[in-house]
Amino acid sequence: MAVGKSIIRKEAWDKVTGRAKYTNDFKEQGMLHAKLVTSPYAHARIISIETHEALAAPGVRAVLTGKGLPLTGEDMRDRPPIAADKVRYYGEVVAVVVADTLVQAEQAARLIRIVYEPLPAVGSPREALKEGAPLLHEELDRYERNKTTYPEPGTNIAHRTKIRKGDIKQGFAESDVIIETSVSFAPSDHVAMETRCATAEIWPDGSIHISASSQSPFMIKRLIHTYFGEEAGKIVVHTPLVGGAYGGKAPVQLELLAYLATKAVGGRKVSVWNNRECDMVTSPVHIGLEATVKIGATKDGVFKAMEIVFLFDGGAYSDKAIDVSRAAAVDCTGPYHVEHVWCDSLCVYTNRPYATPFRSFGHCEQSFAVERAIDELAKVLQLDPWDVRRKNAIRPGHTTPTQVRLTKSNVGDMPACLDRLRELMRWDEWQRIELDAYTVRAKGISGGWKTSTIDTDSSSGVILTFNSDGSVNVISGVVEIGTGTKTVLAQIVAERLKMNVDDVHVKMDIDTQTTPEHWKTVASRGTFMAGRAALAAANDAIRQLKEIAACVLRVTPDDLEVGFGRVFLRDDPAIFIPVKDIAYGYKFPNGNAIGGQVIGRGHYILRRLTPLDPETGAGKPGPEWGVCAEGVEVEFNRRDYTYRIVKAYAVIDAGKVLNPKAALGQAMGAMSMGLSFASREGFLFDEAQRVLNPQLRTYRPIHFGEHPTYIVEFIETPQIDAPYGARGIGEHGLLGMPAALANALSLAAGVPLNELPLVPELIWRKQKGDSYGSL
Amino acid sequence: MEETTKCELVLHINGEQRTVITRQAETLLFVLRDELGLTGTKPGCLNGDCGACTVLVNGTPIKSCMMLAIETVGKEITTIEGLRDTPIQHAFVRHFAFQCGYCTPGFIMNIHALIEQHPNADQSTIQEWLQSNICRCTSYQEIEAAVKEALQAKKTDIQPSHNRISRV
Amino acid sequence: MVPFEFAYYRPQSIAEAVAMFIELEQKGKRPLYYGGGTEIITLSRLGLVSTAAVIDMKAIPECRVLDADSDPLVLGAALSLTELVEANPFPLLTKAAKEVADRTARNQITLGGNLCGQIFYRETALALLVAEADIVIAGPNGVRQSRINDLFHQHLQLSRGEFVVQIKVRRFAVELPHFHHKRRKQGEIGYPLVTIAALKKDETIHAAFSGVCPFPFRSAKVEAHLNDRRRPATERIQAAVNAFPRPILHDIEGSADYRLFVAAQLLEDALRELGETI
């Protein structure tokens, strides 16, 4: 009925008329405004902060500094919400000014005098790991951390994930050829169009009310409880529509500042709203990477061994970067069967903005490294890069790097994705063609896979309430960040209740007091987890409807069916009662009543996940592996090194496509983001590790007209335990884009391109044989 | 010459006359959002780089973060709240030309003006105009399809169905 | 968002604007002439500009003139770049204007604002430099007219209180063969790596550059090399590039040596397009 149709998102008309409201759109008389004062140094000791002049400025209500605040961090508590003794990255918050108006806060912020003593700054993971490199965290051994985080005190290593599968020595011994490839790219940004925003106030009853542009409203509640000892039940977090997130709004940062600010002004409502510059560097960023991949293979191109070192640039604080580095390790080989795997994935501290999930969660990073290496291997062996991938494609029966045995359900059909990609791209016709003296067209491909390494006890809940007209309200903790998941949930509910999806209403906002918890809106797990919860809630509602109808119709509930706005007798649908007549219970002609409002409830918790073994990495990190095969066609000018991305392809195993146009939009949007990242995005640092391009004028994402033609298809290999078989698809489009673009351009230019972003100057330098780095 | 930096402005917005008291240095964006509650106009960068805050001033797209409110006295301002049932709004919905929706008002205002001023816009004109806005969710291909359909609708003067059905 | 206060003035005549400036200056307001306002607002929020008064030029009739039929054609300084592009009175200027910022921004950015901006690319100046346009300037000492080439050295050399009223381009210059190209780091929006505007008059190539140095320039030395037809084109180009003023920009848009590589290629394109033998 509703599943498989391109249902228009429920909030569509709000979004095209300006009615849609985001956190910063909720204006209130008397609300105070905060301005963040940030560090101009990437690494420095704070000698003194003079706030008197600012405090005396017109309209100023408070100035916050970092003294005496608890350390924060999800996996390891290494980050003060406001820097206290030293700053560890350019743009780090050192003070917060709260004033009646934003202009007053800005003016006062300029009156704060801070004396710094600059320290040598660490600029990349390799630099940070060098003997004698300045240490960012001298107290690394004393930080509170969870059981699965393994910092290495006395170094800049926040965490190391080890993957040991098979016998790497044996693997290389069995190999005819061994190639080694190194790749790197600097941190970059999510650039959600809505910059992050949080407001907080404390009511007279002591309850704390936070509004946040966040993917994690429930985590905000939990962390404010953990960090500051506030009663969880007194913390209420509201999240309206979110203007783009892509992982960047999963961490909790401004919410803590808003909480501290409202406390400093007696509970008055305070708004903390990032300007674009702060949103780009002060708030967490997309992780950088330096990686080395060594592949051993037979002369036919069968992989025997992979040895991979990921040095993730976690920036100044570990927060979620630890998890990202672990996720890349878990899927380190890409969607290929490799018997012998050795991987060390390090989350390294540097004096750069701290990192957090970016759409694909470590996987476009992983695939850029490994898929470049696969192309290099194919070149050495003089094999077709597609053939090499096809030969090694992962299948049911194989095991993953963390030694999970794959089944028909928990992995998508990688060979089918590759086969379809080959047809769509007309791969066999040509891979490189010279159109004239300067113009070359070339194709590049990449495989991709991903599981979601999320907390093993993550859960999701859904409540369905019925209206007196028989229509249904869906209340779920999934945040509407643009993915359309809430509309898909309505489709799932409509399908299960066999009703018109127009009669399924969705509550868009989250209010942690009234919305059942959904762990975090991340990891492409919304449809799976909340979908399962929605199905459970629908089943619960069906049971209740049948119970009431059974009394009215004088039959047993077992003989009843629910659908088409009715509860009817299975073998004689003419005997029925409309849902609307029992949605609020049933009143008999004599006035007696039974039942009550039908309220379906359902929840889902991930099952049988385990943490990784610290020595081998063995363990079950996520519920399933979605797979994809992707390609890019470029037109490259050999004279001036400019290029145009002509076409971008993706074949993704979606399990089951629940909403075709929405699914296409997810895939294409992710591809666009991947191509933008790979072709033009990345922070540029000076030698002191100051970010030189924290503005959209100098950090320029892809614009209209620079986009290629997108060609996307879905394979449907159902995940048996997912709602209607659907797999997560929000991230896969991005997975292969950087690698496919780099592979196409490397082929076009005839030189290995292993750095991002792939700007013409980089290609020019590589062809000249120069090194290339930021200024 | 007056010393005070606050002033009373009479603005014409979406066909209505609105009076505000505001700073002379205040941008149109902040006056629309903070003084007049027209929060459909979105701040994205405050630097003229992203187009999210685009409104129409006398029918011309303007980045409202880059224009003082006081400059618009005597001019007709149109914000997203002033558009109803235009071809481009329908086309955006039909073509899934937005996801998070944050850049959408800016895009729609810009495209609406494009359609009004250049009903026969060719590919290069469309591209020239739409380069002014950044969308981070879609691939732009969806937006391109919506623009072309809306141009077609304008050209053939067929008003799209106002029936907001949810299936396509 | 402008994080400080200023007063806004909108004079209706040149005389009024100048008088306002003088009065505000005397009061210590450090007034700024205000065209499209985009740069003032941008730099204000970054703390790079501060003033207590702005004087909007857009209501001064002379600044709004667009006379495309006269000789010289007259372009008011307060015309927006979009107005210039759409009217297209001077195709080389149209090409230069069309590459500045983006379309919506160009609806606001004015010719005068782009010429006098602090942001140093000032790309519309290139077309005017090669066309040897005249520039009408008003200020406390009245209205004067000069050849832009005499006044533009890295930036327009205006005295305090002066502003650009109009640009006058002689008709013959409008019709000369010309070349314009802007190359960016990547894509089609953004500051230039190199922008070149060139035209050919009486068999002599005039060329002006932005993005190469932290200021736009037209150089007699560079042009002498470009026009030295005794030598092959590649040598002329190399000599021209070697004669560029210094420093060569080396920043986040591109390194100095890459800019020179791009500049040399664009010069080759320019020579070819202007009918030189390559």
- Work out whether strand A504-506 and strand A643-653 pair parallel, antiparallel, or are unpaired: unpaired
Q: What is the pLDDT of residue B166?
A: 38
Whether B134 and B107 map to the same domain: the answer is yes
- Name the 3-class secondary structure at C63: helix
Whether A561 and A660 map to the same domain: the answer is no
Q: Where are the alpha helices (DSSP H) in A706-759?
A: 732-735, 737-749
Which residue among A536, A570, A605 closes a domain? A605
Residue A494 pLDDT > 60: yes
Distance from CA of C89 to the nearest CA of B (A): 19
Residue B164 pLDDT > 90: no
Tell me the C-alpha distance between A197 and C1, whole Å. 17
Q: In this complex, do B48 and C8 lie within 8 Å of one another by their Cβ atoms?
A: no
Measure the CA angle with vertex C255, ends C253 and C257; round to 5°. Answer: 140
Whether A364 and A351 map to the same domain: the answer is yes
Whether C8 and chain B come into contact, CB under 8 Å, resolves to yes
Whether B78 and chain C come into contact, CB under 8 Å, resolves to no
Tell me the C-alpha distance between A249 and A197, whole Å. 10
C145 - beta bridge partners?
A: C136
Q: If you measure CA to CA, which chain C residue comes closest to A763?
A: C258
Question: Is the CB of residue C235 less than 8 Å from the CB of residue C243?
Answer: no
Q: Which chains touch C (3 or more CB pairs under 8 A)?
A: A, B
Q: In this complex, do C191 and A698 lie within 8 Å of one another by their Cβ atoms?
A: yes
Residue B25 forms part of a structural domain: yes
Whether B59 and B99 map to the same domain: the answer is no
Report the side by side order of strands in the sheet with A60-65.
A60-65, A93-99, A32-38, A270-273, A197-202, A208-212, A235-239, A510-511
Distance from CA of C161 to the nearest CA of A (A): 28
Interface probe for A, chosen from B14, B86, B96 (most Cβ of A below 10 Å), is B96
A233 C-beta neighbours (distance < 10 Å), count = 10
Residue B162 forms part of a structural domain: no
Distance from CA of B15 to the nearest CA of C (A): 22
Whether B10 and B70 map to the same domain: the answer is yes
Supply the mean pLDDT for chain A: 97
Per DSSP, B72 falls in state: G
Residue B168 forms part of a structural domain: no
DSSP code per residue over C15-53: HHHHHHHHHHHHTT---EEESS-HHHHHHHHTTS---SE
Q: In this complex, do B102 and A193 lie within 8 Å of one another by their Cβ atoms?
A: yes
Whether A556 and A575 map to the same domain: the answer is yes
Residue B159 pLDDT > 80: no
Q: If you measure CA to CA, which chain B residue comes closest to C38?
A: B66
Residue A171 pLDDT > 90: yes
Q: In this complex, do C1 and B3 lie within 8 Å of one another by their Cβ atoms?
A: no
Q: What Rg do the C-alpha atoms of chain C give, in angstroms?
A: 19
Q: State the DSSP H helix or E strand holding residue A657, giving kind and residue range, or none if neither.
A: none
Contacts for B82-88: CB closer than 8 Å, 24+ residues apart: B82/B13, B82/B14, B82/B15, B83/A17, B83/B108, B83/B109, B83/B112, B84/A17, B85/B162, B86/B112, B86/B150, B87/B115, B87/B149, B87/B150, B87/B153, B87/B154, B87/B159, B87/B160, B88/B112, B88/B115, B88/B146, B88/B147, B88/B150
Residue C49 pLDDT > 70: yes
Q: What is the pLDDT of residue C278?
A: 82
Whether A333 and A428 map to the same domain: the answer is yes
Domain of C24 in residue numbering reads as: 7-56
Q: In this complex, do A703 and B164 lie within 8 Å of one another by their Cβ atoms?
A: no
What are φ and ψ of residue C117, in 5° steps? -65, 155
Whether B56 and B98 map to the same domain: the answer is no
Whether B58 and B31 map to the same domain: the answer is yes
Which residue among B80, B100, B129 closes a domain? B80
Whether B141 and chain C come into contact, CB under 8 Å, resolves to no
Residue B167 forms part of a structural domain: no
Choose the closest CB to B137 out of A661, A669, A703.
Answer: A669
Whether B97 and B56 map to the same domain: the answer is no
Residue B157 pLDDT > 90: no
Peptide bond into C72 cis (omega under 30): yes
Could you read off the pLDDT of A288-323 as tens digits, one per residue?
999 999 999 999 999 999 999 999 999 999 999 999
Could you read off the pLDDT of A19-63 as tens digits, one per residue?
999 999 998 999 999 999 999 999 999 999 999 999 999 999 999
Residues on chain B touching A671 (C-beta within 8 angstroms): 139
Whether A20 and chain B come into contact, CB under 8 Å, resolves to yes
Distances A256 to A226, A510, A653, B16 between C-alpha atoms, Å: 12, 18, 39, 41
Distances B20 to A764, C10, C176 between C-alpha atoms, Å: 55, 19, 51
Residue A772 pLDDT > 70: no
Q: CATH no. for residue A107?
A: 3.90.1170.50
Residue A65 pLDDT > 60: yes
Supply the mean pLDDT for chain B: 92
- Name the 3-class secondary structure at C264: helix
Residues on chain B touching C101 (C-beta within 8 angstroms): 48
pLDDT interval class at B161 (50, 70, 90):
very low
Q: Which residues contact A217 (CB under 8 A, 6 or more apart)?
A: A237, A238, A239, A477, A479, A510, A512
Could you read off the pLDDT of C114-172 as tens digits, one per residue?
999 999 999 999 999 999 999 999 999 999 999 999 999 999 999 999 999 999 999 99
For chain A, the maximum distance between any two Cα atoms, rounded to a whole number of angstroms, is: 92
Q: What is the pLDDT of residue A524?
A: 76
Structure tokens at B8: 């009373």
Residue A769 pLDDT > 80: yes
Q: What is the pLDDT of residue A774?
A: 40
Q: CATH no. for residue C118?
A: 3.30.465.10
Which residue among B35, B60, B80 closes a domain? B80
Whether A589 and A617 map to the same domain: the answer is no
| Residue of A40, A33, A497 lying closest to A270 (CA atoms) | A33
User: What's the count of helices (H) and strands (E) in chain C, helices before strands?
Assistant: 12, 14
What are φ and ψ of residue A732, in 5° steps? -60, -35
A145 - beta bridge partners?
A: A76
Domain of A291 in residue numbering reads as: 285-454+610-768
Q: What is the pLDDT of residue A1?
A: 77
Structure tokens at A71: 């350390």
Residue C215 forms part of a structural domain: yes
Choose the closest CB to A704 out of B44, B83, B131.
Answer: B131
Label residue C22 exposed, middle or buried (CB < 10 Å: 0-12, 13-18, 19+): middle
Whether B23 and chain C come into contact, CB under 8 Å, resolves to yes
Residue B3 pLDDT > 80: no
Distance from CA of B4 to the nearest CA of A (A): 16
Mean pLDDT of A669-691: 98
Mean pLDDT of A87-98: 98
Whether A300 and A444 map to the same domain: the answer is yes
Residue B120 forms part of a structural domain: yes
Q: State the DSSP H helix or E strand holding residue C84, giving kind and residue range, or none if neither.
A: helix C81-87
Residues on chain A touching C102 (C-beta within 8 angstroms): 703
Whether A314 and A433 map to the same domain: the answer is yes
Which residue among C153, C173, C193 closes a domain? C173
Q: Where are the alpha helices (DSSP H) in chain B?
A: 28-30, 87-94, 104-117, 123-130, 141-156
Residue B28 forms part of a structural domain: yes
Residues on chain C touching B128 (C-beta within 8 angstroms): 98, 103
Residue C42 forms part of a structural domain: yes
- Considering only residues 162 to 191 of chain A, which have any Cβ-Cβ distance to chain B shorter than 8 Å? 190-191
Task: Match 């394109």 to its residue by tokens.
Answer: C269
Whether C169 and C180 map to the same domain: the answer is no
Interface probe for B, chosen from C1, C25, C51, C104 (most Cβ of B below 10 Å), is C104
Distance from CA of A106 to the nearest CA of C (A): 6
ipTM over 0.90: yes
Whether A407 and A372 map to the same domain: the answer is yes
Could you read off the pLDDT of A457-471 as tens digits, one per residue?
889 999 999 999 999
Q: In this complex, do C42 and B48 lie within 8 Å of one another by their Cβ atoms?
A: yes
Residue C40 pLDDT > 50: yes
Tell me the C-alpha distance between C266 and A648, whole Å. 30
What are φ and ψ of residue B61, in 5° steps? -65, 135
Mean pLDDT of B67-78: 98
Interface probe for B, chosen from C54, C57, C103 (most Cβ of B below 10 Å), is C103
Whether A697 and chain B come into contact, CB under 8 Å, resolves to yes
Domain of B11 in residue numbering reads as: 6-80
| Residue of C209, C200, C198, C196 lying closest to C244 (CA atoms) | C209
Whether C164 and C255 map to the same domain: the answer is no
Q: Which residues contact A184 (CB under 8 A, 6 or more apart)?
A: A124, A288, A289, A290, A291, A754, A755, A756
Which residue among B28, B46, B80 closes a domain? B80
Which residue among C112, C146, C173 closes a domain? C173
Distances A162 to A332, A363, A401 between C-alpha atoms, Å: 11, 17, 10
Distance from CA of C143 to the nearest CA of B (A): 24
Residue B2 pLDDT > 80: no
Residue A158 forms part of a structural domain: no
Label residue C232 exposed, middle or buried (CB < 10 Å: 0-12, 13-18, 19+): exposed
- Name the 3-class secondary structure at A431: coil
Residue C1 forms part of a structural domain: no
Task: Match 């004109």 to its residue by tokens.
Answer: B125
Whether C49 and C79 map to the same domain: the answer is no
Distance from CA of A408 to the nearest CA of B (A): 32
- Name the 3-class secondary structure at C270: helix
Residue B91 forms part of a structural domain: yes
Tell me the C-alpha distance between C49 and C39, whole Å. 9
Distance from CA of A272 to the nearest CA of B (A): 14
Could you read off the pLDDT of A375-389 as tens digits, one per residue?
999 999 999 999 999
Report the side by side order of strands in the sheet with A439-450.
A432-434, A439-450, A626-637, A643-653, A709-715
Q: What is the pLDDT of residue B1?
A: 43
Tell me the C-alpha distance between A655 and A452, whole Å. 16
Q: If you measure CA to CA, which chain C residue comes closest to A759?
A: C186
Number of domains in chain C: 3
Could you read off the pLDDT of C175-185 as tens digits, one per residue?
999 999 999 99
Whether B67 and B91 map to the same domain: the answer is no
Residue A545 forms part of a structural domain: yes
Q: Which residues contact C202 (CB under 8 A, 6 or more apart)?
A: none
Whether B63 and B120 map to the same domain: the answer is no
Residues on chain C touching B51 (C-beta within 8 angstroms): 102, 104
Question: Is the CB of residue A388 less than 8 Å from the CB of residue A165?
Answer: no
Residues on chain A touching B48 (C-beta within 8 angstroms): 697
Whether B76 and B91 map to the same domain: the answer is no
Could you read off the pLDDT of A563-622 as tens digits, one per residue?
999 999 999 999 999 999 999 999 999 999 999 999 999 999 998 899 999 999 999 999
B32 C-beta neighbours (distance < 10 Å), count = 26
Q: In this complex, do B65 and C41 lie within 8 Å of one another by their Cβ atoms?
A: yes
Residue B87 pLDDT > 80: yes
| Residue of C276, C174, C194, C178 lying closest to C235 (CA atoms) | C276
- Considering only residues 86 to 115 of chain C, which have any Cβ-Cβ distance to chain A shorter than 8 Å? 102
Whether B24 and chain C come into contact, CB under 8 Å, resolves to yes
Residue B160 pLDDT > 90: no
Whether B103 and chain C come into contact, CB under 8 Å, resolves to no
Whether B25 and B71 map to the same domain: the answer is yes
Whether A423 and A317 map to the same domain: the answer is yes
| Residue of A275, A94, A93 lying closest to A197 (CA atoms) | A275
Mean pLDDT of A230-253: 98
Helix, strand and coil in chain A, % to nearest 5: 30, 30, 45
Q: If you measure CA to CA, which chain A residue comes closest to B27?
A: A103
Residue B166 forms part of a structural domain: no
Per DSSP, A332 falls in state: T
Q: CATH no. for residue B93?
A: 1.10.150.120
| Residue of A598, A534, A603 lying closest to A567 (CA atoms) | A598
Residue A771 pLDDT > 70: no
Q: What Rg do the C-alpha atoms of chain B give, in angstroms?
A: 17
Residue C278 forms part of a structural domain: no
Q: In this complex, do A680 and C187 lie within 8 Å of one another by their Cβ atoms?
A: yes
Q: CATH no. for residue B49?
A: 3.10.20.30
Distance from CA of B58 to the nearest CA of C (A): 11
Question: Is the CB of residue C11 less than 8 Å from the CB of residue C31?
Answer: no
Q: In this complex, do A665 and B92 lie within 8 Å of one another by their Cβ atoms?
A: no
Measure the CA angle with vertex A398, ends A396 and A403; round to 5°. Answer: 125
Residue C229 forms part of a structural domain: yes
Number of domains in chain A: 3
Tell me the C-alpha distance between C168 and C148, whole Å. 10
Residue A56 forms part of a structural domain: yes
Whether C198 and C182 map to the same domain: the answer is yes
Label residue A44 exposed, middle or buried (CB < 10 Å: 0-12, 13-18, 19+): buried
Task: Match 């710094």 to its residue by tokens.
Answer: A116
Residue B162 pLDDT > 50: no
Whether C251 and C197 map to the same domain: the answer is yes
pLDDT interval class at A453 (50, 70, 90):
confident
Choose the closest CB to A662 out of B38, B48, B96.
Answer: B96
Whether B10 and B76 map to the same domain: the answer is yes
Whether C71 and C148 map to the same domain: the answer is yes
Q: If you measure CA to CA, which chain C residue comes closest to A277?
A: C46
Mean pLDDT of C218-233: 97
Distance from CA of C13 to the nearest CA of B (A): 16
Whether B106 and B43 map to the same domain: the answer is no
| Residue of A4, A10, A14 lying closest to A485 (CA atoms) | A10
Q: State the DSSP H helix or E strand holding residue B69, giving kind and residue range, or none if neither.
A: none
Per DSSP, B77 falls in state: E
Whether A482 and A614 map to the same domain: the answer is no
Q: If you measure CA to CA, which chain B residue comes closest to A277?
A: B45
Distance from CA of B1 to the nearest CA of C (A): 9
Q: At what angle do helices B123-130 and B141-156 cross, to 10 degrees?
A: 120
